[in-house]
Each structure stands twice: as structure tokens, then as C-alpha cells.
């Protein structure tokens, strides 16, 4: 995670960002602290990335890389405003014990990639259409040695895979079907017949931008209905208020880069 010390909305690269509405910086830090404390209280280790002045989106740490079994496929950001974030993530992985692979193609890390170790022998799901290039899906498959299933995103409000789909545990997902092309919806239905399906209101509340440890599902307070859906599916929803991060077009998942050593 990366503290939102320099968080602002000073450019708009997704439909949620409105540069005319000021961000409450102190509140952003307070809410982010609560998210970090929630993860720690649930027993997780949280490593911190040093925030860099002039990189206001660094708080969305999930976009900087994607790791599977000790190998890290680095990010290459779509927009120049975020390009330098990739170096900060690379520095984190290269000073610890990871095998870091530098990407050739545009991809935004866990924003558009997720991994389900227990589904179909270990499968990577990857989004494209707005940020990550399809060529990066093939590149990730070569670097990580796992099958990558490409899913086409069609609604600009759900520009990253992690705004429309989330892993609930090692083998199942929750997703909002209408964020995907008709063909990608068929692919998801085939691979995940027991998925938890979200509706438009859940997606708008960033209810799919969640982090799950397989038991606890952490989602923002606005996503109360999504919390009930995951509860009905047997998980324990844990809600955290993240109103300020939504102004940049993100929520829980965007703020947490999961490490798969
Ligand atoms: N303002 C950021 C962007 O548009 C938000 C990134 C949200 N992160 C995520 N994992 N979806 O790039």
C-alpha cells in the first residue's frame, strides 16, 4: 500500500475523476489508515511504498505490478501522468526476493490482472479495452507461465478489470456482467458457473473493487448491498469508508497490491 500523502485529483483519466471538486486530503489519509489497520487486524502483513510528490495516483498501489508465485510482471502505465509510478514498484520488488520481469506492453498490473490459483489448475484473468493492451496478456502468460484468459471491458466507467470483477477466494469470483462484452460474459459463465453476480448499483458503489482473503471480504461502506451478496455466498463482509479514494476512480482493491510470493 502507498499512503495518500500527495493524493489529489488534478487530471482526469477516467470518468470518475472531476478536477473541479477538491479532495479532502486529511480525510483521504484517515480513511486509508483505517483500511490499512483493518488488514493488519485481520492478520495480514502490509508493506508500504514511499509516496512520491507529483504522483497523486500512487495511492492506487494495485496498478504497479502483478505477481504470481514469486515472479513479478511489471506495469507500464497507459497515461504519461502515471508512468513514473512503475519505477517505485520495480524498486520495491528488486530490493527483495522477487524475480522481476520488465514489460514491453502497456499494462496496469492488478488493475487488469487477477489470479485464481484454485480455478482450472491456476488461471489468470485479464482485462482489456481501456488500459491494458491485449498484447500484454500474451506477454504475462509467457512471463508467468499460467494460462491467461482475456476479457473485454466495454463500459468506460469500469475501465479496469478490478472495477468489474474480483476474486473471492482461490477459485471463485464476483463480477458485474454488463461491464464485459457478450462473448466475455459467456467465457465467465463457462469458467465460473457459481460466481456471485453484481448489478449496476453494486458496480457503481465500487462494490467489486474488493479485497478478499478467502474468508473476509473487505469492501467500502457504500457497497452495502454487495456486502450482503458476499455474505449470502458464505463470506464475511468487512466495510471500510473510502469516499475520497472514489474521487480518483478507485476503492479498496485499487489501494492494495497483493503479493503472491
Ligand atoms: N486515477 C487512477 C487511474 O485512473 C485510478 C486507478 C484505480 N485503480 C484500480 N486498480 N482500478 O488510473
pLDDT in tens, the chain (261 residues): 999 999 999 999 999 999 999 999 999 999 999 999 999 999 999 999 999 999 999 999 999 999 999 999 999 999 999 999 999 999 999 998 899 999 999 999 999 999 999 999 999 999 999 999 999 999 999 999 999 999 999 999 999 999 999 999 999 999 999 999 999 999 999 999 999 999 999 999 999 999 999 999 999 999 999 999 999 999 999 999 999 999 999 999 999 999 999
What is the structure's pLDDT at 78?
98
Q: How far is CA 191 from CA 116, 155, 170, 172, in A?
A: 11, 22, 13, 9
Q: Tell me how far CA of residue 181 lies from CA of 79, 157, 210, 231, in angstroms.
A: 24, 14, 22, 28
DSSP 3-state assignment of 249?
coil
Q: What is the pTM of this model?
A: 0.98
Quick check: CB of 63 below 6 Å from ligand 1? yes
Mutating to test ligand 1, I would choose from 12, 86, 220, 254 the residue with most ligand atoms within 8 A of its C-beta, which is 254
- Hey, what's the torsion of the CAs at 66, 214, 182, 205, to 10 degrees? -90
| Spacing, Cα 229 to ligand 1 middle (Å) | 25
- pLDDT of amino acid 208: 98
Give the pLDDT of residue 96: 86
Tell me the average pLDDT of the chain.
98
In what order do the strands lie in the sheet containing 236-240? 211-212, 216-220, 236-240
Ligand 1 centroid–CA 48 distance in Å is 18
Whole-number pLDDT of residue 79: 98
Q: Is 14 in the pocket of ligand 1 (CB under 6 A)?
A: yes
Closest Cα partner for 31 from 243, 226, 248? 243
The grid cell for 237 is 463482509
2 tagged catalytic: no
- Give the span between the Cα atoms of 133 and 54, in whole angstroms: 26
Could you say which of 137, 160, 171, 239 is catalytic?
160
The rounded Å distance from CA 187 to ligand 1 centre is 25
CB of 4 sitting under 6 A from ligand 1: no
Distance (Å) from CA 125 to ligand 1 centroid: 18
- Could you tell me where the DSSP H helices lie in the chain? 25-41, 85-94, 134-144, 182-191, 200-204, 224-232, 243-246
Q: Is any atom of ligand 1 closer than 6 Å to the C-beta of 163?
A: yes
Distance 162 CA to ligand 1 centre (A): 9
Ligand 1 contacts CB of residue 250 (under 6 A): yes
Residues 6 or more apart whose CB falls under 8 angstroms from that of 87 comprise none
| pLDDT confidence of residue 210 | 98
Q: Check pocket membership of 78 for ligand 1, CB cut-off 6 A.
A: no
Which residue, by CA, sits nearest to atom 7 of ligand 1? 250
Amino acid at each position: 500500500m502507498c499512503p495518500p500523502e500527495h493524493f489529489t485529483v488534478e487530471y482526469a483519466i477516467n470518468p470518475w475523476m472531476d478536477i473541479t471538486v477538491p479532495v479532502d486530503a486529511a480525510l483521504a489519509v484517515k480513511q486509508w489508515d483505517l483500511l490499512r489497520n483493518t488488514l493488519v487486524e485481520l492478520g495480514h502483513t502490509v508493506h508500504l511504498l514511499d509516496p512520491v510528490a507529483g504522483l497523486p495516483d500512487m495511492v492506487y498501489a494495485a496498478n504497479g505490478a502483478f505477481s504470481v508465485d514469486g515472479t513479478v510482471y511489471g506495469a507500464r502505465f497507459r497515461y504519461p501522468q502515471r508512468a513514473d509510478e512503475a519505477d517505485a514498484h520495480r524498486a520495491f520488488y528488486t530490493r527483495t526476493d522477487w524475480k522481476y520481469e520488465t514489460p514491453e506492453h502497456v499494462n496496469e498490473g492488478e488493475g487488469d490482472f487477477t489470479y485464481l490459483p484454485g480455478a482450472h489448475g491456476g488461471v489468470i484473468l485479464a482485462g482489456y479495452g481501456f488500459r491494458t493492451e491485449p498484447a500484454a496478456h500474451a506477454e504475462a502468460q509467457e512471463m508467468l507461465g499460467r494460462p491467461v484468459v482475456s476479457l473485454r471491458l466495454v463500459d468506460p466507467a469500469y475501465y479496469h478489470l478490478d472495477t468489474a470483477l474480483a476474486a473471492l477466494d482461490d477459485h471463485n469470483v464476483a463480477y458485474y456482467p454488463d461491464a464485459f462484452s457478450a462473448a466475455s460474459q459467456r467465457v465467465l459463465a463457462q469458467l465460473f458457473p457459481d460466481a456471485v453476480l453484481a448489478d449496476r448499483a453494486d458496480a457503481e458503489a465500487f462494490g467489486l473493487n474488493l479485497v478478499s482473503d478467502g474468508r473476509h471480504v473487505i469492501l467500502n461502506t457504500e457497497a452495502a448491498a454487495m456486502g450482503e451478496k458476499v455474505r449470502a455466498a458464505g463470506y464475511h463482509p468487512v466495510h471500510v469508508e473510502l469516499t475520497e479514494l472514489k474521487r480518483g476512480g478507485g476503492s479498496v482493491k485499487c489501494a492494495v497490491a497483493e503479493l503472491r510470493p
